[in-house]
Amino acid sequence: MSTADVADPAIMSVPPSWRTALAAALGTRESRRLGGFLKAEAAAGKRIYPPERSRLRALELTPLENVKVVILGQDPYHGPGQAHGLAFSVPPGIKVPPSLANIYKEIASDCGADVKPDGNLERWARQGVLLLNNALTVEEGRAGSHQKIGWEAITDAAVAAVAARTEPSVFMLWGNHARRKAERVTGLEGGRHLVLTAPHPSPLSAYSGFFGCRHFSQANAFLEANGRGAIAW
């Protein structure tokens, strides 16, 4: 199967390092099913987010060799104009979603940073923060609608590729969903990477331990100690 079956034309903008790392996953039965599913949904007139050219945006902006931090989301925002291929992020001019607002509050408390008021996290992605959702598409108005249709084979492989690298990286795992995804990757716990866990930053759980987790300062201290350079949150 061609990679284009899954994400054409988005795959054309993905760096070679990701194409190599994901080649086996893109040839699986799950990926073949995914390609057929997405084509059928489009043919049925269903509105799918994000737009086709943005579906692999997280990989496009953060080549494998540049990854310093991995932040895992569940699936894209399912409202008009919100999703643009980066977990927790929205395009310029779109209202900051509640979970991202809570992330900004924690950064301000943890790092004393003056966080920009917009919700576009491309500035993080370009510094080496891989903002990866578990499923990379969603049907309008139906959260979780594209879970378990084949994206997991690809995103699991992306997480595994980061974990396999010799360069120390930080994995920020917020909520049970992110923790379960990372548990499939061998060598994370007690290894060369820093694994930080906390409740999800959503309004339902942020006060159960996300606020006060200090993940952002811990990540920067780890990166600097390993000669990789801090993130300007």
So which residues are the catalytic ones?
A: 75
129 forms beta bridges with 69
CA distances from 187 to 54, 143, 192, 226 (A): 31, 31, 8, 18
- 172 vs 69: CA distance, rounded Å: 7
| Residue where the block lists tokens 């997405």 | 38
73 forms beta bridges with 133
224 forms beta bridges with none
CB 135 within 8 A of CB 75: yes
91 φ/ψ angles, rounded to the nearest 5 degrees: -65, 160
231 φ/ψ angles, rounded to the nearest 5 degrees: -95, 135
- 204 vs 52: CA distance, rounded Å: 31
Q: Which two tokens stand for residue 91?
A: 């395009």
User: Within 13 Å of residue 219, how many CA atoms lie on the same side as its CB?
Assistant: 26
Residue count of the chain: 233
| Residue where the block lists tokens 């599913």 | 37
